[in-house]
């Protein structure tokens, strides 16, 4: 599957309408970003049910700021509208595949219960 360009205009819709969304925050001038791009594209072919999105931090500074992106590339994995993984740095293919496998194994009911517990806790 080809990667999808994520912008401030479509980001929320893409995340809300897809169960698993990977987000690669990148920029054209970034050497490690350019090195990671073919790996990201290649792995996207192995996971057709996931959306592999890319945020150009130069063109979409609002998204980069909203997610407090301090270095690129940064990979974020969102499952059922919950950020489960966020890490700066390019990953090798095996590590990216491992992240996807582990994210798929997470019990989302338990995650939602933990989130609710934190929201209900007194400050």
Please confirm, yes or no, whether 47 is among the known catalytic residues.
no
CA torsion 37-44-5-85 (nearest 10°) is -80
Tens digit of pLDDT for each residue in 87-115? 999 999 999 999 999 999 999 999 989 98
Query: In the chain, how long is the greatest CA-to-CA distance?
Result: 46
pLDDT over threshold 70, residue 1: no
User: What does the pLDDT look like over 55-92, one tens digit per residue?
Assistant: 999 999 999 999 999 999 999 999 999 999 999 999 99
- Chain center to CA of 54: 8
Q: pTM value?
A: 0.91
Could you give the number of structural domains in the chain?
A: 1
* CATH number, domain containing residue 16: 3.40.30.10
Convert the pLDDT of each residue in 13-49 to its tens digit: 999 999 999 999 999 999 999 999 999 999 999 999 9
Catalytically annotated residue among 15, 20, 33, 75: 33
**Domain limits at 80?**
4-120
Residues β-bridged to residue 77: 22, 85
30 is catalytic: yes
CA distance 77 to 73: 13
- Considering the candidates 15, 21, 30, 51, report the single residue annotated as catalytic: 30
């Amino acid at each position: 599957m080809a990667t999808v360009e994520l912008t401030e205009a479509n980001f929320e819709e893409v995340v809300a309408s897809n169960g698993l969304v990977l987000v690669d925050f990148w920029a054209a001038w970034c050497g490690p970003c350019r090195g990671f791009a073919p790996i990201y594209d290649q792995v996207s072919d192995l996971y057709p049910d996931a959306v592999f999105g890319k945020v150009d931090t130069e063109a979409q500074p609002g998204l980069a700021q909203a997610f407090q992106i301090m270095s690129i590339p940064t990979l974020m994995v969102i499952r059922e509208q919950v950020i489960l993984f966020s890490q700066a740095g390019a990953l090798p293919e095996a590590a990216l595949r491992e992240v996807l496998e582990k994210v798929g194994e997470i019990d989302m009911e338990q995650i939602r219960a933990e989130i609710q517990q934190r929201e209900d806790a007194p400050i």
